[in-house]
Every structure is written in C-alpha cells, then in structure tokens.
Structure 1
Amino acid sequence: MSGASPFKMRFVHLDLKGAPPKVSYLSEIFPLFHALGANGLLIEYEDTFPYEGPLKLLRAPHAYSPSEVKEILHLAAQNELEVIPLVQTFGHMEFVLKHEAFAHLREVALFPNTLNPHEAEALALVAAMVDQVMELHAGARWLHIGCDEVYYLGEGEASRRWLQQEENSKAKLCLSHMRAVASHVRARHPAATPLVWDDMLRDIPEAQLSASGLPQLVEPVLWDYGADLDVGGKALLMEKYRECGFTRLWAASAFKGATGPNQALPPIEHHVRNNVQWLQVAACGPADMLRGVVLTGWQRYDHFSVLCELLPVGVPSLAACLQCLLHGGFAEDVRTRVETLLGIPNLEMTGFTSEGAGAFPGSDILALVTQVGLHLCSSVDEVLQRDRYVTGWFSPYHRRRKLIHPVMIQHIRPRVLSLLARWSAQAQELETALHRVFHEDAVAEWLEENVQPSLGRLQALLQDLGQAAEPQPAPTPPPSTELWL
C-alpha cells in the first residue's frame, strides 16, 4: 500500500537550454503537471531568458520574450505551480563564457564552463544576470544559483597564485564565491532565499562549512539520480549539513535526462526506483529538514552536448515519479492512477512500446519517437548487414568498385525503396508533430541526430546501386612496349 508523502513541495525541473517548448505547449502541459501532483516548477532558462543590455548577446535565436516569460508565469500560477528560477553563477557557464566578450572571465582560458572567482567583473556579471531574472520573477520565494560541477576550479593562473598562500584552498575559494553571490541575492532580493546544488559542498569539512557563513545564506539541494543511491549515506550527509548550520534542505531526483547524454527514451523503472529511494532517505534523515523535492528533467548534459529525452517523451516517467512521491510509493493502485491520468492502457516500466501511447499533450511525439528509437536503425541494419543479396552481391568491396550482377539490382532496390519510403513518411509525420511543440532549430537538431543518419545510409545504398547499374567504361589497356619497325 502507498502512504503519505514526506515531500510537501514537488517541483518539476524545466531545462530550457535545449529544445525549449513553445508557450502554447506549456499551456497544455501545466494542467497535467498539476493533476499529477506537482505544485512547483524549477525553470532553468540559460540562453532562453530575454537578457537585455550588454547581456543581450546571451539570448538564443528562439529565446522567450519578456511577454512570453510573463505568460509562462501566469500559466504556472493558474495551475498552482510555484516558480523558482535558476541562474547558473559559477559552473556550467558555457552559454556565457563561450562569447568573446566574456571569455576573459574564464577560470581556465581554454574552457568556457567555469567562471573566474577572482575577477570583480565576474561577480558583477552574475549579479546583473540575477537582477534581470529576478526583475521578471518578482515575488519568487527562492532563486536557484546553480554552483554545481565547478570543473577546473583552482586551475586558472589567478587561482594557482592564490592557492600558493598556505591558508588558502579550493574549498575556501568555492565557498567564497558562493557566499558572494548568495549575499548579493539576499541584499538585493531579500524575499528570495538562494538555493545551491550540493555537490561542491559534500566533501568540505564540517568546521569549514560552519565557519564560512554559507549555512545562514543558502539552502542546499542534494542531488542523486541513480537507481541504487546510498540511502544511508544520504541520511548521514543530511545530518552533516544540519550540524553545519543549514536549517532546510531540498532533494533532487530525476525523471529524464540522467541515464545517457543521447538517451531518446527514458527508462521509467530506473527513475521510479530513484524516487522511491529518495522517499527512503526522507524517512531516515533528520526530521522536517527536507523542504521539498525537485524532479530534474535534463535536456542537455551541458550547453554543448546533444539533446536527450524530449519533454513530451518524458511525460510517462514524470507521471510515475510524481505519483510515487505524492503517494509515498509505487504500489499497483498508483500505477493504475498514472495510466488513467495519461490515458494509456499499460505503463511499460522495463521497456518501451508505442501501442496506445496515451492521450496527453505530446503523446503523438512519444509514439513516433518510440518507433524511431526502437526500429529505425535496426531495420536499416537488417537490410545493410543481414540481407543476403546485399551482403553477398553488393558488399562494401562491390560498392567501391561499382560492381554488381544486374539481376541483383532487382532483388535489392525494391526493398530499399520501400523501407526508405516508409521511414521518410514517419519522419515527416514526426517533424510535423515536433513543430507543434518546438522551434525549427530543435526539430532540425533532433532529426539530424536521430533520423537522418539511418535514412542517409539507405539513400547512399540507392545511389551506389544506381552508379553500379550504369555501363562502366572499358578499362584502358596498358601502353604497348612492342617496337614497330
């Protein structure tokens, strides 16, 4: 039997640095989020926020306009979804530091991921970003300032010189920048409490964390997306944070985007297990410390990586995870409720099926992406690697030399043309469905990554067949060495 949830606040993470949905789709999906048990959104805008002034160059081509951000917030409020904006201010700064105008603020000159905390201009930059975001999120009770995965911290020239002083350390450097950013938030936006990802804090000694002053400024978000996370270890970590002076904590699980950078379909069982284990952490950790949980749904691993599972494709996983957290477990009655809410006959936990993909917004995308993910590549492999006529009479050796028995063309070409026509039609249907939810650049990227390589292999085979079928010029005889008198 399922029970009550220890997580009174359940926030869905919208990672907008890849395939940001159109506002029209958000208007359709927010009511479902609410019905599934969400009562908040953690919105990570990155380059989709409408920055102004010197920061305008950070905008992606399809960044939201100020009026669209306001509409998103209005839709969220209509559906009783509290919004926490997220602004990266330390690590994962690629979308800022990739620009030449800000490249001088990198910790390591070659890498655009981490900000140089020694530069006064660096703090001014993130303060300006924070202020612009908060201007459009007036009244927000929390602001997430990121600070996860601050890779290469301490490896820049300024940091190396600073670390030569005996009392300095990477931990001190990290805490100092976090404290500076959090202090700015507290001073300029006193109604908002800063949140930080906790990975940079985990290994810092308790005494140093306590003395830093950070526990009085921020609330850590403990994240772990594994299906086999260490429940006891997480409970001990919560206790450590309590001893350091942090009064409230958050948990972060995942419903997609955490099992592979190019994952197309989320493994639902993995994510449900992850959330079940977070329920166990909440049950055995310090009482009442966990304010809420964020269900992360990463769209890219970082600014430069490929797209992982698209939001509509992740809806069944999100539904299962939210209902699991809401009811304190994933008993059979909870599974049945998920199926009812999504309009699906059977929630497939351990595999993927496109049979009866559901009646929720974007379910047509799920059905088509499932078809592509499960069958496109394998069906092309079946022809190119296992068809006896292709492997026996039109191997790579034959293709390079344009050699083929004419009768074999009659065996190979019809099958390849039929397969190409079938998948081209599916790709067109999927493209149309994707355009209803996403902008052109995201649609083009997903299709180029996931569909075009396989279609291109079929097209290349047909092209080689055509060239091999053409009459080949007779080989030029070698010049004669005979002497004529």
Structure 2
Amino acid sequence: MKIKVFFLMLLSTFFLQAKAFQKEISDPVSPFPVRGFHLDLRIQAIPMPALKKLALQLVKGGINTLVMEWEGTYPFQEEPLIANRFAYTRDEVKAFIAYCGTINLDVIPLQQSFGHVEYILRNPKYKDLREDQKDYSQVNPIREAEAKKLFITLYKDLISTHHSPYIHIGGDETYLLGHSEESKKKIKAVGIGRLYGDYIKMLCDVVVGLGKRPVLWADIALKYPEALKGLPKETIFIDWNYGWDINMFGDHQKLMQSGFEIWGAPSIRSHPDNYFLSQWAKHFKNITDFVPMAKELGYKGIVMTSWSTSGLYSPVFETTRDIIDLYAIRRVYPISGFNMLIAAFLESIKTAKPLDADIFINSYAQLQYGLSKNDARKFWKAISTVPYEITQGKPINTELSIDQMLDSTRNALSILGKLKPVKNVTEFEHYRLMAAIRVQYLSYQSIESRANAAGMTAEQLKPLITELEALHTKELDKKFIALNSAVMYPAEMAQENELRNGKIQVLLQRLKRLR
C-alpha cells in the first residue's frame, strides 16, 4: 500500500513538472524583469472602471509595472491646489492601487519635479519656484531648499498611497535651464550640466532617503553626462527612443558606462501624432527596432510610453505676467483607439526578438476583427495611408499636395467603411472615426489653403463658407462621445470636441461677415 501511494505521488510530481516545463516552452520568460506601461493622464483622465479594465488587459499581456503620470488628477492632501477638476478621490486612488496589488501590477507614481510642472507653478502660491515668470513649466534649480520642501511633501503623500519600490521624478525636457539670473550665474561658474545635475541629485537623495529608488528620463543626462556624477547608486534612467539614432540626445556610451540601471522606452503615441494624424507605421517600426535593441544593451526594464499631449502648453495671459489658463499644444486620440499597438508591444516583449510587423498586423486583423487575409491587407493600407503632418499650410516630408493627401484619405475611409468586422466591432469603429476626423481636417486644410491664396477677393471667399459648414463637426462629435464615453468624462469629451474643431469655427466666423 505504501509503495502504491509513493508511486502515485511520484507520478503526480512528474506530471506537474512536465506541465510546468511545457508552460515554460509555450510561454517564454521575458528578458526584461520590469515590463511596464506608462499612462499619461495630463489631459485625458480615465474613469476608474476603465482604468481597472486597462490594468487587467495589460497584466494579461505580461505587464507587471504601471507608470502613472497622475499630474493634476492626484488629490494631494497638503497641497490641494495642485489637483484639477478631474482629480480622483483618495479613496479611488487607494482602491485602484489595492486592485493592482491583487493582479500583481506594481504602480510607480510619476511626479514631475523639474520640468513639465506648469500645473503646479501656475498657482501664485508657488511663483517663487519658477525659472521663468512667463513660462511656468520649470522649477528654478537654484531654489533647492524651497523645492525640496515641496517635493518631500508630494513624495510622502504618494508613498502613503503607492507601495512601489520606485518613484519616477521626471527630469526630462528642461528647456528653460539658465533662464533665471540665478541660474545664469551658476552656469557661468560650473556649467549647465552641474546646474541640472546638482538639482537632480537633491531630488534623488530625497527619494533614497524615503526608502525608494529614483527613476528619471535619460535625455538631459545624455546631453550633459557630467550630471551623472554624484547621483546615488540606486538611481534608474529610462532611455526613451521613439525611432531616432541612439546618440540623438548625447553620447549614449557614457550612459552605458555610468553603472546605473537602465530601462528603455518606445512609444505608441508621440510627436507628431495628434487628433488628425496617427503614424501607425512609425510606432510599429519603433517597437520592432527598439525592443530588441534594449535587450541587446542589457536594459533591465522596458516601458511603453503613451503620451496624451506633448507636455508643452500655450498660455492665455491676463496681463504680461498673469496666466488665466494653459492649453495643451498637442492633443491625441484617446488610448481606446490603440489596442493593436498595445498588443504588438505585449507580443514583442515576450522574447524581445524583432517583431514582424506585417505578419502581426495581418494576424491581428484576422483574429481580432474576423477579417479575411485580403481584407486585413486593405485594413492596414487604409490606416497607414499618407502619414504626413501639415505645418503652416504645407505637407511635411512629402511631395504630395494637401488635396492629393485628402483624396488618398477619403479613399482610405471608404475602404474602412466597406470592411465587415465580425468581432470587436466597437474597437474597429475607432479606426473609422480617426480616418473621418483626418478627412475633416484635410478638408479644412484645403479650404484654408485656398482662402490664403494670393489675390483672393471677398466674392471668391464666400463659397468657402458653405464648404466649412459642410464639414459635419456635430456628426463626428457625437460619434466621438459614443465611442469614448467609457474612457473619458463627459466634460472632457465636450472640451476635446470643442478644441478639435477650433480652427474650423474661427475661420467660419471670420468669413460669415462677408455674407
């Protein structure tokens, strides 16, 4: 009897080991211990049910880290002026962090602490921390004592709700270095790299003193490698690269030789993406190229960034120094429209082998939407057509005219309209809406170009009024609300529609006086 029991136990152990081995073969271990996704809530706050749904989607795909750029949506207790009208309650934040804990998702708070802090510095309470009194985006690094007091308060608050071993302190795109007279003096004495590095060291030391590891973007340290000196060994740099040369910001080898832990970061939404343009092919190539590169470089983590805006704001001044409001310079389509790119990233980080984008896209279209092979090819051709931006009325990086781009985009919209998805139809509708918005935008650009042609008379301008009125803004606004009501608040969607249609309405009102 004892022999029989022993044999059964041995057999059971064998099958369990075989099952585990089989799982290891079919589900390879990613080379990145930290597999992250960055969520930017600066202008597109997401209601909690949708936020939890996205978190679960990411975990099921292999993500174990969420970098939350809460910005004004986080409800700081001791600094209540920082929160905006879409801020979550503290109970909501705590419940979300607790939920993420149940699905093994580490939530790293991203608290910008140098540049990109206009949402803090816009308040007169913090005016003495500004590097420039006409651009509220950056802290004056000479004001270390005042800044240290503020950010210790903010970091402690974040630590009280988050359980991650990390705090992301930002540190990127500090365009205003040396604007203040105080900063100019320090630059003259020790150089701009030390101006940046000394302030960053203070922040990193604060984070380490609070028992956490500081994480920051690597662009400025790459530009000024002397800034790396003296930073605590716990510091982690994120090398963000959206398709450019590895030495774009500076000598990459110096970062590699610094001894600090490094993570990489591609993107699914970045410049020049906006409501009217999503450069699908560019982001697929970024995933295909950079994820394997990050593995080869020995990066310990990979974080997919997803920017809702550029982080640059256009101020509305009340006086020469007082700002009424700040408008995001670039706004993009909500994250609800980018499941395919998210899925591509999740697939790529499983092994970090180069992703075959064509095979992935065709497979995704067939499996996710039930399209045939032929229709999958049509789908990709339609959403990736003429991916060029327009600046000052001129297409960039193409010989095509605006009207030629418009014809191609209308054809793409027609193709998408004829395709018949049999699964995940709502997700597919986002592509159609994005194409329709681009047709509307290019139609406007064509009208604007003709309106600005040399020698246009009042009589020649009048017919353009009818064209502007026919751009169907209300129809697209309704569709935008219908498709994004789960991932945005009603007031956000109303604002997005208004801003997206802003140029159309301005030109229309100007021309209507000619009737």
TM-score normalised by length of structure 2: 0.73
- Counterpart mapping for 1:16-415 below 5 A: 16-53=41-78, 55-119=79-143, 120-137=145-162, 139-165=163-189, 168-188=190-210, 190=211, 192-205=212-225, 208=226, 212-226=229-243, 229-230=244-245, 233=247, 239-246=253-260, 248-260=261-273, 262-285=274-297, 289-302=298-311, 304=313, 305-327=329-351, 328-331=353-356, 334-336=360-362, 338-339=364-365, 342-343=368-369, 345=371, 346=376, 348=380, 350-351=384-385, 354=416, 355=419, 363=427, 366-367=430-431, 369-378=433-442, 397-398=458-459
Query: Which deviates more from structure 2 when the two are superposed, residues 313-322 or residues 365-374?
Result: 365-374
Measure the CA separation in 2 of the matches of 1:385 and 1:89.
Answer: 42
* Overall identity of the aligned pairs, in %: 22
Contact 1:224 1:252 in 2 (8 A): yes
Classify the secondary structure of the residue corresponding to 1:41: strand
Cα separation, partners in 2 of 1:216 and 1:450, compared to 1, 3 Å: same
Cα distance, 1:423 vs. partner? 5.3
Cα distance, 1:56 vs. partner? 0.7
1:342-361 per-position Cα deviation (integer Å, ceiling 9, x unaligned): 43633626337644579559
1:373-421 per-position Cα deviation (integer Å, ceiling 9, x unaligned): 23224556789999xxxxxxxx962388x8x9xxxxxxx98x998x56x
Cα separation, partners in 2 of 1:330 and 1:8, compared to 1, 3 Å: same
Give 1:444's aligned residue. Answer: 494
Cα separation, partners in 2 of 1:128 and 1:177, compared to 1, 3 Å: same
Classify the secondary structure of the residue corresponding to 1:326: coil
Cα separation, partners in 2 of 1:237 and 1:4, compared to 1, 3 Å: farther
Contact 1:48 1:59 in 2 (8 A): yes
Cα distance, 1:276 vs. partner? 1.9
Contact 1:312 1:361 in 2 (8 A): no
Cα distance, 1:317 vs. partner? 2.1
Query: Which deviates more from structure 2 when the two are superposed, residues 268-277 or residues 331-340?
Result: 331-340
Measure the CA separation in 2 of the matches of 1:129 and 1:78.
Answer: 25
Measure the CA separation in 1 of the matches of 2:55 and 2:508.
Answer: 40
Classify the secondary structure of the residue corresponding to 1:72: helix
Classify the secondary structure of the residue corresponding to 2:92: helix
Larger Rg: 1
Cα distance, 1:194 vs. partner? 0.9
Cα distance, 1:303 vs. partner? 5.4
Measure the CA separation in 2 of the matches of 1:385 and 1:202.
Answer: 41
Cα distance, 1:153 vs. partner? 1.4
Q: Which runs of 4+ in 1 moved over 4 A?
A: 233-239, 352-362, 378-386, 452-461
1:291-326 per-position Cα deviation (integer Å, ceiling 9, x unaligned): 111111111111522312321122222222332333
Between the two structures, name the one with larger relative contact order (CA 8 Å, sep ≥ 6): 1
Contact 2:224 2:250 in 1 (8 A): no
Cα distance, 1:78 vs. partner? 4.2
Contact 2:468 2:504 in 1 (8 A): no
Measure the CA separation in 2 of the matches of 1:383 and 1:113.
Answer: 35
Classify the secondary structure of the residue corresponding to 1:84: strand
Measure the CA separation in 2 of the matches of 1:214 and 1:178.
Answer: 8
Classify the secondary structure of the residue corresponding to 1:62: coil
Number of aligned residues? 427
Cα separation, partners in 2 of 1:359 and 1:245, compared to 1, 3 Å: same
Measure the CA separation in 2 of the matches of 1:238 and 1:378.
Answer: 39
Unmatched 5+ stretches in structure 2: 1-27, 314-328, 386-411, 451-455
Contact 1:95 1:303 in 2 (8 A): no
Cα separation, partners in 2 of 1:356 and 1:69, compared to 1, 3 Å: farther
Cα distance, 1:5 vs. partner? 5.0
Measure the CA separation in 2 of the matches of 1:164 and 1:201.
Answer: 19
